[in-house]
A and B are shown apart, each in its own frame.
Chain A
């Protein structure tokens, strides 16, 4: 099956600094990728849809200037948390739809997630 990687798997940073998280589709191309945030014992919250070659689409309530998304190529999307604060500490997960079969059969393939802790 399709594989999505994320880097780093965990990161600790100081308040006020910026952190970049990479999401890569390893054996398939992804024109669309999704970024989720997950709080402990809670469901996934969709933050934004990353589109290759165009601007990301952000969900309501997500600050565009704080969570910068760049979909630089068909296999890479990055999420940069700018001026991080302790409340940004969370588990960030990316996903990409598969490319085989008819569109309506697409599954989403998930990265392993990145644990961000802001001190």
Chain B
């Protein structure tokens, strides 16, 4: 069965420190992986995606994610956190055989403290 796991409900990071939000996945075919961010009472905004190619993907707002096939992970990272990065982050995977449908992680609340 296809699934996405975000093992941390919440991640706390001091401003200026590097941050990592974890995501692991399980799909039957080649995974198409996505990270989205949601600010309070707002819709989701696309951050980045991995389809093929380089394992390190760079996205919006200085975020990047590393695709690790052997560990079936796609962790979101940023070298230096900003208070404005505080939000809810969702990892999602699309099975190559599905019709656009995404399988969502539970979300991780990221809190950046000044």
**A110 B45 Cβ-Cβ under 8 A:** yes
On B, residues with C-beta under 8 Å from A are 32, 34, 36, 41-46, 49, 51, 90, 96, 99-102, 104-107, 109
**A93 B43 Cβ-Cβ under 8 A:** yes
Given known contacts A42-B106, A42-B107, A43-B90, A106 and B43 CB-to-CB distance under 8 angstroms: no
On A, residues with C-beta under 8 Å from B are 1, 4, 6, 32, 34, 41-44, 46, 49, 91, 93, 95, 97, 104-113, 115
Q: Which among A95, A108, A115 has the greatest number of chain B C-beta atoms within 10 A?
A: A108
Main secondary structure of the interface of B (DSSP, over half): loop
Cα(A42)–Cα(B6), bound, Å: 12
Main secondary structure of the interface of A (DSSP, over half): strand
5 closest cross-chain pairs (CB), A and B: A110-B43, A112-B43, A110-B44, A97-B100, A43-B106
Partner of A43 from B49, B51, B99, B107 at Cβ < 8 Å: B107
Given known contacts A42-B106, A44-B90, A104-B51, A32 and B100 CB-to-CB distance under 8 angstroms: yes
Cα(A107)–Cα(B43), bound, Å: 14
**B99 A107 Cβ-Cβ under 8 A:** no
Cα(A91)–Cα(B38), bound, Å: 12
